[in-house]
Each structure stands twice: as structure tokens, then as C-alpha cells.
Structure 1
Amino acid sequence: MILNRRRMLLASGAAALGASAFARTLSAAQQGDRKKVLYFTKSSGFQHSVIARDGDELAHSEKILIDLGAEHGFDVTASKDGRLFDPDRIDEWDAFVFYTTGDLTQPGTDGQPPMSPEGLKAFLDAIQSGRKGFVGIHCATDTFHSGPDDRTPYIEMIGGEFISHGPQQVSKIKVVDSEFPGADAFGSEFEINDEWYAFRNMSDQIHGIMVQLTDGMTSGRSRDYERPDYPMTWVKKYGDGRVFYTSMGHREDVWTNPKYQGLLIGGLNVVTGRADADFTPNVSEITPGYQTLPG
């Protein structure tokens, strides 16, 4: 079932958005340059609480992203229906936002219609060609996992693959590209409570925006953070396509944080071409040990 909803964004949230993201989005909205966005929240693996629905009621994050979109020039549709990626449907959207888990060509945990193989190919082709933009949030890297020898095309596209996380905790994050729309609101370094992903198969084409500072973090049994610092929010190119990812977003209170909302709007502005960003790969310079696995 596709659920659309339009509500006014709270004034306090709009006022607290990162200045660059807000100004650029407002300008686009005033010009009538609205973009159509599919917020895809299918779970073929674990279903996170921020995308879990109660009957036909929209989930926590779905309501927030639809509200933000309505205020800032994006018509957001929230759905768990993989059939929307079929080749005859995919051109309805200007960009995709994924909060997903597992192999989305399988019905999986939520039992909703999966993507077809043709739909998956159409999706990847649309991003690679530059016709569509992509935003991945949190568990989007816990999707279409790679085998022992090869990265899946999806992992190549998004730029990294979830392997584990420790307990939820306050972590220190360094902002390395404050010019990215919405990132300036966080300052040069900040702390926030969330669930922090460790990655493997990180692309050397990443342009890091924020870096996970691992010193002092509490690991789980997988020794998740016993490794050098690594990017946790980035952009990269996939062919001609623009890709944005942030690992933040597990917790409900992160989604209601105006700074986080501003970062998501900034990401949507960039991947839809409304705002410019630096895509120059910098991961080897900002986090030289980023490929080192935990433990």
C-alpha cells in the first residue's frame, strides 16, 4: 500500500535546519521546482522501529520525511512495495531514499511485495545513468549484502556494507566537510546517541562528510569499533549518479533532531541536483585506516 501525507513542518524544526540546506531548499520550493521522492522502507531482514507501522498508520520516520518534503519542495511517497521499481514505474520518481534491510527481491520480514530482478536492475541503471538520485539512511547499508569474493552492484553503489554494531551509545563525530548542505549546523565536532554501524567493503570513491571517532567507543562481541576512524556520512558518484549516505537514524529522537533533519534535506538537495557538493574522493586522506576491519 502506498501512503501519502502532507502536513506542515513545525516552525521550530524549520528554523533550526542547517542554514545552507534551508536557504537552497526554500529557493527551489519558491520556484516551483518540486521533486518526487520514493521513501522505500521495506524490510527483508530486521525491521527497525522507526519504519514499523501500526496497521495503516505511517511509521515515525515516514511521517517526518513526508513533512520535511512537503515544506521543502519534495513530494514524498512512503512505501514498502517493491513493485514500484518495475521498469514501467521507476520514472515516476526523481530520487529514492532507502531505509531497508536484506535482499529486497524477497518478501522477507514485512511480507510486502518484493522488487523483481528487473526492478532491481532498473533501479541501479537509473542511479548509474544520473537520471535519479539516491539517499541511504542507517540500515540501507544492511541491504543486498555481498558474497565472500565480490561486492554486489548495490554495495558498489552505496559505498559500504554493514557488518556489526555495538550497544547504542553517545559517540563523538567529526565534521570534515562543513560545506556540505546541512552539515554546518553540527559544528566541527559533536556528540549524539545512536546505534553506530561498522562497515566493510568501503569504496575508495567516498567523499567523507562526517567521521566516526572510534577512540573510547564500547564494542560488542564483534569488537565493532576496535579499528581506526572511518567515514559514517558521505557522498559518492555511481557512474553519473549522485549518492548520499548517513549511518545516523536508528533512534526516534535522532529523527526529531532538527540538525539531522537539515542534513537529510541537504542530502536530498544534492542528489537531485538542487545543490552542489564536493564529490572528490577523500577517504584515504581523512581516514587512512578506513579499510581496517574490527579486531
Structure 2
Amino acid sequence: MHRREMIRWAGMGATSLSLGLLPRLRAADTMNPASQKILFFTKSSGFEHSVIKRNAGNPSFAEQVLAELGPKQGIGFTFSKDGSLFTPAYLAQFDAYLFYTSGDLLSVGPDGQPAMTPEGKQALLDAVAGGKGFVGVHSASDTFHTNEHGGGNNPIRVQRYQNYGDAADSYVKMLGGEFIRHGPQQIAKARITDPTFPGFGDLGGELNVMEEWYTLKDFAPDLHVQLVMETEGMKGADYARPPYPLAWARLHGKGRVAFNAMGHREDVWTSPAFQNMLIGTLKWAAGVAKADVKPNLERVTPGYATIQPPPPEVVNPPPPRTPAPRANEPAPARPN
């Protein structure tokens, strides 16, 4: 996509959506009313979620939501799927970056959009360490997996069931955690551990939401956790583990980094609770909202380092299936 078209989308309203209550920040949360410039980057080198997929050249569902929220919150969003734009000069124009990505972004992958270069990835990491904000949503944790390279949705995943610590990918260390797998979508409880963080104040003590709940690992030791996955009673072997972080914030050099594992479903994106969390977190990452991000990982999730065992289909994945021949097309020859 050309840059001119991309910026034009950033100012477009989403009149077709019914968003209900819009998120609000308390006056005490905001240091000044200056407008923030935020890049919403949604390249999918792995699985592409429906909420960020553009159809027939139209903005994605998430882009439409943000296009409506942005002007009301003093935020100017720029929307892009073009990894080749990542240079120090390009990144310098933004206050923060919002990622909803997947896979090895150095590869083109299924969405066909231009990949990042290694220099572009380093430019991103340097920009965040130098003071820019970074917020990851949902599959931003399914991005730049440690020891996984190439485009596509990697079918070999047994390597994800361990903590790599200092040997983790540089992006994973910046983000503060990494996706493992998810079980069936279900209504489950997420406990709020810091109602003073911007956007979390009006949510009550917990959320009970139908969602695709990610399991995560390789948590940075300095995480300030705001949302905890309460695993007791959840369906599926993926959740046979102690409670673990779902949303957090941390400092990375001079930059502010945050992540929220929610955001798979369209009805989550239109919910006031998710919008409150997202806008409040973006305000903090951009440096215009205050928060105490003292590490609390061990206190609120003492079993955070425990990883569920890999299921049989991960340990011994089935061989890839040979696609069925099309009509009037001979079946592939069998090897001798």
C-alpha cells in the first residue's frame, strides 16, 4: 500500500459500526491533551485474523474501530501492513506502535504484504529502547517466535513449550512474553490486578468474556501485570497450569511497552471494556498517561513459569495432507 493511501485511512471514520459506550480516561490519568501519533501495524506472516483482514481493499474491522475512536481520544492512527517501511526515519514520526501481527515478519507470508528487513526489525527495537511506546495485542505475542523462521503458520510447535530466558528472540524479550497455543474459545475469568492503570479503573475486579484465550510463557521478570488468566475450570488441556499474565506493562530502556492477549473476536473489539483497556494503555505507552509499573509478576502470578505439557498432536504432529485432485485432474503419482 502506498504511504499516501495509508495516511488517508488514518483519518477516516467508521460510520457503519455501533460501538456503544466509548472509553474515557479520568483527568488524573492524563498529563496533557496533545494529540498522539500511533502506527497500527497488522502484517500477518503467519495466521491472519479476521479482525485485521482487509477485504476488497476496505479497512479491516479493527482499523474501522480505531478510525472512529482515534479523533475522540486525541489519537491519530496510521494503518499499515507494509514491513518494508520500517526505517529509523519512518518510525521517528510516531509516538507509539500498536502491533496486531503474526509469524516471522522478515518473511512475506500468507498476506502477501512486504516483509521487514533485519535492519527494519532492529530499527523498531532501537526506537522502543530509545523512548517510543509499543503496545501488542493478541497475536503480537505470536510474532518472531524464538527459533522459528520463514513465512506461514508453523505446524511444528513443540519448541514453544520451554522458557528460553536470555536466549529468547530480541522481540520476545522486548514484548515481555510469547504465545504458546490456545484451546477452544470459551467464557473464562480474567482477574484485574491493577485498577489504577489507565483504562482499567472502571472494569470491576474481573472480566468474564467469551474469547480465544492464549497461553503464554517466557515472561520478563520485570512485568507489571494488570490482567491474570484464572485457569481453574477452563476447558482444554492447554489451560492445565497455574494462573498466568494476560496483560502487562514494562519499561524497555527509555520506552514503555505493554501487551494485552485479548482481541481475537470482533465483539471484543466493540466492547467498552476492551476499548477502555486499549486506549488507556496506548495513552500510557505514548507518554501522556501516568502509571506505576513496579514489577508484580511473582506476587500476582506465583506459578507464572509453569508451562502446560505439550499435547500429543504437538509432540507427534500428523504428516501434511496431500490435497485432493481437482475435477478432471489426475491424482498425484505415488512414489515407487
Q: Same fold (TM over 0.5)?
A: yes
Report matched runs for 1:11-160 at 5 Å: 15-20=21-26, 24=29, 28-29=32-33, 33-130=34-131, 132-147=132-147, 150-160=167-177
Match of 1:202 among 219, 222, 225: 219
Question: Retained in 2: the 8 A contact 1:174–1:211?
Answer: yes
Matching of residues 124-273 of structure 1 within 5 Å: 124-130=125-131, 132-147=132-147, 150-219=167-236, 223-273=237-287
Larger Rg: 2
Instruction: Give, in whole Å, the separation in 2 of the partners of 1:192 and 1:251.
Output: 11
Offset of residue 91 of structure 1: 1.0
Shift of 1:12: 8.5
Residue type at the aligned position of 1:280: K
Report the Cα offset of residue 87 of structure 1: 2.5
Matched residue, 1:7 = 13
- Deviation track 1:196-249 (CA, whole Å, cap 9, x = no partner) reads 010121111110001100000111xxx211000011011011112101110010
Q: Shift of residue 14 of structure 1?
A: 7.6
- Consecutive unaligned residues in structure 2, runs of 5 or more: 148-158, 310-336
- Comparing 86-95 with 46-55, which one deviates more in the overlay? 86-95
User: Please, which moves more after superposition, 285-294 or 88-97?
Assistant: 88-97
Contact between 1:17 and 1:185, CA under 8 Å: does it hold in 2? no
Q: CA deviation at 1:4?
A: 2.6
Other structure's SS at 1:119 match: helix
Contact 2:11–2:76 (Cα < 8 Å) also in 1: no
Instruction: State the TM-score, normalizing by the size of structure 1.
Output: 0.92
Cα distance change, pair 71–6 in 1 and its aligned pair in 2 (3 A): farther
Amino acid at match of 1:236: R
Alpha-carbon spacing, 1:230–1:187, altered in 2? closer, same or farther (3 Å): same
CA contact (8 A) 1:44 1:108 kept: yes
Q: Secondary structure at the match of 1:118?
A: helix
1:293 pairs with 296, 303, 307, which one? Answer: 307
> Which TM-score applies when normalising by structure 2?
0.81
Given that residues 81 and 114 in structure 1 are in contact (C-alpha distance below 8 angstroms), is that contact kept between their aligned partners in structure 2? yes
Identity %: 45
| Equivalent pair of 1:18/1:183 in contact (CA under 8 Å) | no
Between 63-72 and 3-12, the greater mean CA deviation after superposition: 3-12
Distance in 1 separating the partners of 2:55 and 2:83: 20
| Deviation at residue 17 of structure 1 after TM alignment | 2.1
> How many residues of Structure 1 are paired with residues of Structure 2 in the alignment?
286
Q: Structure 1 regions of 5+ residues with no counterpart?
A: none
More deviation, 266-275/11-20: 11-20
